[in-house]
Amino acid sequence: MPPFLATVFAAIMGLKNGFTGKLLAFTIVLFFIQLLPVTDLLFRVIAPNPGEDFARNLAYAQNMIEQKTLWGGDQIAYPEEGKEFVTQPGYRYYLAFQLFCFKHLYRFIGVLNSLLFVIALFWFMKAIVVTVEQKLFRILLVCLVASTVLYATKNILMGLNEWLMILCLLLSVYYYKVKSNEILAVVFLALVVFVRQNALLSVMLMFFWMFYNSKNKILSLTFFSLTLLLPVYHNLYYAGKLQFFVSIHQWPFLKYVSTSKLTPAHAVNYMNVLNNVFHYLGFHVRNTGVIDFIEEGFFFLLAFPVIVFYIQKKFFLGLHRFYYLATVALMVGPTVFLGTHFYPRFEFVCFYFGIAAFVLFISTSKERFPLTEWRLFNKRETIP
């Protein structure tokens, strides 16, 4: 509850009086006040369930600290593989940094991560207020963003990595739109891909927008490229391979006889693909036919397709509309065919890409669309 109540407080007061530094300080104080009744629980060491992504990433991080190495450690979980990255690379390094700072994985680390996400949400809501002129739509977007904090907290406490990916995305948009800091914006944008590589295509479109409007294109391209290629440096140094992408042993939209990566697919997993579509309607169908409603994500899941349709219809024209929709579609597509387990984590990601791309692409007096014969934002077609 602390993340939710703190975010709701920030959203209400921010819309009324502005998202100021003073309000952020009050939000942080409110967050910690709510923790006072459970302070004795915060210093308990937690252990993830064996076999989960969290347990695997924690094992990688512990190996880094114990061996004083930056090697990703995928051979710990996949001894038959080489020393290159096999699974998504970024989150293990974040865990290793926290272990370096605190020695053990205490419960308060999850609380700290929740606070960091609340702060990122605060800054993103400020970016929305700064860039979106229409009052009612601005209020709606802030409310939708605030509603996601319940699932974001669950994602954090489960030790998944999507929250960190979104945190980097929100910071990128904030530093670009509010702080006008292109370098930090492109670095955080590239870190989105380092956390989860399935965001690469959408991130490239977002970077192209920043690059085209950059005051120092060479510097922006350099910092973005250097950060984006982090997996290549690792794989070259530790495995001797010129490889960017992680390995995919089996495709989620196909069926296999066994879990071995050498096993050929024998059928299409239609149910998994359909479920990944159903998730945007707020429910999941089990193999037994039982329907589960995704309570913590129901509101923003249902809002996502409506918001994207409304944005592209009211705010974008011609090629700009295609550019925005392509950015969203290139994020949604991989989740439909490659998404599996821990729903609605990928739908949560797509929701934020839809909103973040809108906030980023909406033009200001300082920005232009890459093809200048089209206008990104036409005031004659805005909401009355």
Burial of 175 per CB tally in 10 Å (0-12, 13-18, 19+): buried
Q: What is the per-residue pLDDT for 296?
A: 63
| Beta carbons of 184 and 384 less than 8 angstroms apart | no
Largest distance between two CA atoms of the chain: 61
Q: What is the per-residue pLDDT for 186?
A: 98
Residue 379 pLDDT exceeds 50: no
Is residue 227 included in any domain, yes or no?
yes
Question: How many domains is the chain built from?
Answer: 1
Q: What is the per-residue pLDDT for 362?
A: 87
Is residue 306 included in any domain, yes or no?
no
Is residue 79 included in any domain, yes or no?
yes
The secondary structure element, H or E, covering residue 192 is: helix 182-195
* pTM of the predicted structure, to 2 decimals: 0.90
Residue 270 pLDDT exceeds 80: no
Residue range 126-141: mean pLDDT, rounded? 93
Cα–Cα distance for residue pair 47/198, rounded to 1 Å:
28
Q: CA neighbours within 13 Å on the CB side: how many for 249?
A: 14
List all residues 6 or more positions away from 210 whose beta carbon is below 8 Å from its beta carbon. Answer: 176, 182, 185, 186, 189, 220, 360
Residue 227 pLDDT exceeds 70: yes
Is residue 304 included in any domain, yes or no?
no
Is residue 222 included in any domain, yes or no?
yes
Q: Nearest 5°: CA angle at 355, between 375 and 167?
A: 130
Cα–Cα distance for residue pair 238/191, rounded to 1 Å:
20
Residue 47, SS3? coil
Model confidence band, residue 248 (pLDDT cutoffs 50, 70, 90): low
Alpha carbon 194 to chain centroid distance? 11
Model confidence band, residue 265 (pLDDT cutoffs 50, 70, 90): low
Angle between helix axes 149-157 and 135-147 (nearest 10 degrees) is 30
Which of 352, 365, 378 has the alpha carbon at shortest distance from 213?
365
pLDDT in tens, 76-122: 999 988 999 999 999 999 999 999 999 999 999 999 999 999 999 99
Is residue 314 included in any domain, yes or no?
no
What is the amino acid identity at position 206?
M
Q: What is the per-residue pLDDT for 384?
A: 36
Q: What is the per-residue pLDDT for 382?
A: 40
Is residue 66 included in any domain, yes or no?
yes
For residue 93, the enclosing domain spans 2-244
Residue range 145-154: mean pLDDT, rounded? 91
Residue identified by tokens 């990703």 is: 72
Residue range 307-335: mean pLDDT, rounded? 90
Residue 298 pLDDT exceeds 90: no
Is residue 258 included in any domain, yes or no?
no
